[in-house]
């Protein structure tokens, strides 16, 4: 099967957690909305990227805009998980950092039609660090039944996915010194990672505590 169709098929596995989120939407607490927006944004990215690749033979614009919005949504989600409760300035600093680096990279250093790795490396690295810190907080507060903790599963998925992406982005940034066949081979294998990652997302959404209801 042509790699394009393999990529398309695996990418659309992201529909699974999106569907779970839709079916559970009315029961999801607002504090989890940024993560749900991130899931739906990823589905939209996959659709638009596939269309753009077919029409323009280039989906860089779609993916470049996606990584900025994804960064904002995930920072909002970590903020809702009270990660920045005692460090509110850090939240605003990271938000400003994401926007500033993205604007420098895609509006000054290069443009939206080109793929570049600098923002992605910073974004991936920060998400991994925030996920590790969140897991530490979860373990210290609720050390039992971690496998049934939706936030724990989400952070595990983030650590796996974005750690691998850090390595890939560094390789891509040094692409002029690497073998294209080797790079393509790595990319082909990494595509399959999205299957367990999206399964973890779907399970985590199912485990999200139901929205509280108040009655008189």
Query: What would the mean pLDDT of 65-94 be, rounded to a whole number?
Result: 96
Q: What is the dihedral of CA 181, 183, 184, 187, to 10 degrees?
A: 160
Query: What would the mean pLDDT of 2-8 be, rounded to a whole number?
Result: 61
What pLDDT does 181 receive?
Answer: 63
Whether residue 11 is predicted with pLDDT greater than 80 in this model: the reply is no
Where in the chain are the domains?
A: 3-207
pLDDT tens figures, 132-174: 999 999 998 876 688 889 999 999 999 999 999 998 888 887 7
Average pLDDT, the chain: 87
What pLDDT does 62 receive?
Answer: 94
- CATH 1.20.1070 is the classification of domain 3-207: yes
């Amino acid at each position: 099967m042509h790699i394009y169709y393999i990529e398309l098929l695996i990418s659309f596995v992201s529909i699974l957690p999106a569907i779970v989120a839709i079916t559970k939407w009315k029961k999801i607490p607002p504090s989890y909305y940024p993560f749900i927006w991130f899931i739906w944004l990823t589905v939209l990215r996959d659709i638009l990227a596939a269309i753009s690749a077919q029409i323009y033979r280039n989906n860089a614009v779609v993916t470049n805009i996606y990584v900025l919005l994804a960064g904002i949504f995930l920072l909002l989600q970590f903020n809702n998980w009270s990660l920045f409760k005692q460090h509110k300035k850090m939240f605003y600093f990271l938000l400003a950092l994401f926007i500033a680096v993205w604007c420098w990279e895609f509006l000054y250093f290069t443009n939206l039609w080109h793929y570049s790795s600098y923002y992605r490396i910073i974004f991936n690295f920060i998400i991994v660090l925030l996920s590790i810190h969140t897991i530490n907080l979860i373990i210290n507060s609720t050390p039992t039944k971690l496998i049934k903790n939706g936030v724990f599963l989400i952070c595990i998925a983030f650590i796996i996915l974005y750690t691998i992406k850090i390595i890939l982005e560094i390789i891509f940034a040094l692409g002029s010194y690497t073998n294209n066949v080797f790079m393509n081979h790595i990319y082909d294998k990494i595509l399959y990672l999205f299957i367990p990652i999206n399964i973890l997302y779907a399970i985590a959404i199912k485990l999200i505590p139901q929205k509280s209801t108040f009655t008189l």
